[in-house]
Amino acid sequence: MTNPPSALQRPQDWWRDAVIYQVYPRSFADSGGDGLGDIPGLISRLDYLANLGVDAVWISPFYSSPLHDGGYDVADYRSIDARLGSMDDVDSLVAEAHARGMRVIMDIVPNHTSSEHAWFQEALNSEPGSQAWDRYMIREGKGTDREEPPNNWRSVFHGRGWSHMRDADGEPTGYWYLHLFDTTQPDLNWENPEVHAEFRDILRFWFDRGIDGFRIDVSHGLVKEEGLPDFDHPEQFSGLPGFDEEHVANHENMFDADKAHAPYWDQDGVHDIYREWRAVADEYDPPRIFCGETWVPNPERLARYQRPDELHTSFNFSYLDAGWDADAMRTSIDDTIRNHATVGAPPTWVLSNHDVVRHRTRLAPLATDGTADLGRGLDRARAATLFTLALPGSMYIYQGEELGLPEVSDLADDARQDPAWPRSGGTDGKRDGCRVPIPWTPELPSFGFSSSGAAWLPMPAYWSGLSVADESEDPQSTLEFYRSALRIRRELDALGEGSLQWEDSPEGVLAIRRLSDTGNVLAVLNTTDSPVRLPSSWGSDVLLASGPEIALLDDDGVEMLVVGGETAVWVRR
Ligand code: GLC
């Protein structure tokens, strides 16, 4: 068989069915020994990613930042955090990734800057009505002494969404700035043309350096409803995906408010911004691409971001939210595909990222003692991954899921760095649990993450056996399973973009057929805990299974496949 084309050999459409690997750079690989992952560390592991078989890497922010929100607080969009590397390192990263046939996607944060950004520093030293103030959402307070914030909006990270502008002596003034996230993340004013021009320029700055695209942070934010009306915040929050009672009580979902049409999410005006950005991306050859972090209430609202002159793709969080529930998964798949078809865009699929509980833990059933059954969690995670990789469109993989890493739910309170942790009084802000560094070797204490043994978050000793080195030697490991899945997905025309047909299947079982001229593939996911017998007409030529519970049954000379509980399988047809 000839080698399937790499992402670089399909310059126009590679993103339509790519497998994109998310790197959280502080936690990937540390070359400097300070316990913080960095760009040279990432470069040293590009062979690992190429060998895993991904088409592109998306790297969470590595700009200059005080790191109050893991780099999503950008102090300078045109420079690199010195702790993570230099501009030369980024140039090498792009060259080295491209040399291995992989694309590089950066992360852009347009809803807010860091309070250490030169613009906000200028605003702090400027007067009401100044040009510097107009770049941010700064308003007079309410009340006789303007001691009340301009409206009742809350921060996604808990508490008030507004903080006082302060004078040179640090005294509060009657003016307030909006921060939908941490106090150190002032929201930009997207009514101001200067903000538009600045971001177009930032895009070009990086595109000119060879960056292939951007993931857009909080892409459903940016534009706020005119008049900044009060918002009737839902009292009951349902929880960030995966953070249920077992992980944290009374958790607020980061973006739960968007389900209730908050006046700061998913405003129609945001689409004008993406039309401008698309025009910039299309100036390049090959065109650069975007993927929005778009938390919206339903797949219909999501598809609006993928209209032909807007973003290429967006994350499809309805599927991530569906949990281990065949009906909910099927509904999300159907709605997503149908709505994306109306705008001619391919869907994306994602099961884990740096903001949600890792899917091995999130999908795990509760054991009798009330803790997550991580053994079954791994079975389910592998099965969900295999089935998802057979869906049409592109797929995002979060670093460490290919090792089957569980969430680290027992981090010490004083180790936590999520800004929502102190703001919620320790009831929320547990995102550090999915950001613990990657184990590369069996060596404690930092499993080869850094040469010095340092790690910015402690790595649990019970991860022994889950390192890249350990799993590379075990043909049954989750890592080898991911490698096989990605290789087969790349080799077979039926997987990737294209249409999908559902097969009739028993309750709790999902079965899809993917068609191509060179052969069809059937993907089956059994979410029940009992084996299911597949009809003989579905064939028995197993390409890959997520677990060992696969058996061939010879029933009166007819071969049938039996798929174990909580297992997925790909069958050639
Ligand atoms: C996005 C990021 C998250 C960050 C937030 C504020 O949701 O994924 O990590 O905290 O935006 O920038």
What is the SS3 assignment for 443-512?
Answer: CCCCCCCECCCCCCCCCCHHHCCCCHHHHHCCCCCHHHHHHHHHHHHHHCCCCCCCCEEECCCCCCEEEE
| 28's tokens | 């990937």
DSSP characters over 367-414: PTTSSB-HHHHHHHHHHHHHHHHTSSSEEEEETTGGGTPPP-TT--GG
Low-confidence ranges of the chain (pLDDT < 50): 1, 236-252, 257
Among the atoms of ligand 1, which is closest to the Cα of residue 112? 12
pLDDT for res 271: 98
Q: Which long-range contacts (CB under 8 A, 24 or more apart) does 38-41 make?
A: 38/83, 38/84, 38/85, 38/89, 39/80, 39/84, 39/85, 39/86, 39/89, 39/90, 39/93, 40/85, 40/89
- Of the residues 109, 181, 421, which should be mutated to test ligand 1's pocket, given the most ligand atoms within 8 Å of the CB? 181
* C-beta separation of 446 from 37 below 8 A: no
Task: Answer yes or no: is the C-beta of 188 below 6 A from any ligand 1 atom.
Answer: no
Q: Is 174 helix (H, G, I), strand (E, B) or coil?
A: strand
pLDDT digits (tens, 9 = 90+) for 371-386: 999 999 999 999 999 9
- Using CA positions, which residue lies closest to atom 2 of ligand 1? 217
Buried b (16+ CB within 10 A) or exposed e, 142-170: eeeebeebbbebbbbbbbebbbbbeeeee
Task: Answer yes or no: is the C-beta of 69 below 6 A from any ligand 1 atom.
Answer: yes
Q: Measured between alpha carbons, how far is residue 58 from residues 15, 94, 149, 151, 330 in Å?
A: 12, 12, 37, 36, 27
Please state, in angstroms and rounded to a whole number, the distance separating the CA atoms of residues 157 and 532. 44
Cα of 180 vs centre of ligand 1, distance in Å, is 11
Please state, in angstroms and rounded to a whole number, the distance separating the CA atoms of residues 146 and 142. 4
Please state, in angstroms and rounded to a whole number, the distance separating the CA atoms of residues 438 and 444. 12
pLDDT for res 388: 98
283 is catalytic: yes
Please state, in angstroms and rounded to a whole number, the distance separating the CA atoms of residues 385 and 397. 9
- Using CA positions, which residue lies closest to atom 4 of ligand 1? 72
Chain centroid offset of residue 105 CA? 12
The CA radius of gyration of the chain, in Å to the nearest whole number, is 24
Share of the chain above pLDDT 70, in %: 95
Helices (H), 190-262: 193-208
507 is catalytic: no
Chain centroid offset of residue 259 CA? 19
- Of the residues 72, 107, 291, 294, which should be mutated to test ligand 1's pocket, given the most ligand atoms within 8 Å of the CB? 72
Cα of 421 vs centre of ligand 1, distance in Å, is 14
Q: Which helix (H) or strand (E) holds 290?
A: strand 289-292
Cα of 108 vs centre of ligand 1, distance in Å, is 11
Among the atoms of ligand 1, which is closest to the Cα of residue 111? 12
Task: Answer yes or no: is the C-beta of 58 below 6 A from any ligand 1 atom.
Answer: no
Q: Which residue in the list 283, 474, 541, 559 is annotated as catalytic?
A: 283
Task: Answer yes or no: is the C-beta of 108 below 6 A from any ligand 1 atom.
Answer: no
Helical pair 270-281 and 193-208, crossing angle rounded to 10 deg: 30
pTM of this structure: 0.96
Among the atoms of ligand 1, which is closest to the Cα of residue 72? 12
**Cis, peptide link before residue 286, omega less than 30° from 0:** yes
Task: Answer yes or no: is the C-beta of 252 below 6 A from any ligand 1 atom.
Answer: no
Q: Which residue in the list 182, 217, 407, 470 is annotated as catalytic?
A: 217
Cα of 171 vs centre of ligand 1, distance in Å, is 29
* C-beta separation of 93 from 43 below 8 A: yes
Please state, in angstroms and rounded to a whole number, the distance separating the CA atoms of residues 39 and 59. 10
The percent of the chain in helix, strand and coil, each rounded to the nearest 5, is 30, 20, 50
pLDDT for res 2: 58
Task: Answer yes or no: is the C-beta of 181 below 6 A from any ligand 1 atom.
Answer: yes
pLDDT for res 255: 61
- Of the residues 59, 69, 219, which should be mutated to test ligand 1's pocket, given the most ligand atoms within 8 Å of the CB? 69
Please state, in angstroms and rounded to a whole number, the distance separating the CA atoms of residues 506 and 436. 39
Please state, in angstroms and rounded to a whole number, the distance separating the CA atoms of residues 277 and 438. 34
Cα of 46 vs centre of ligand 1, distance in Å, is 25
Q: Which residue's structure tokens are 């064939």?
A: 539
Cα of 265 vs centre of ligand 1, distance in Å, is 14
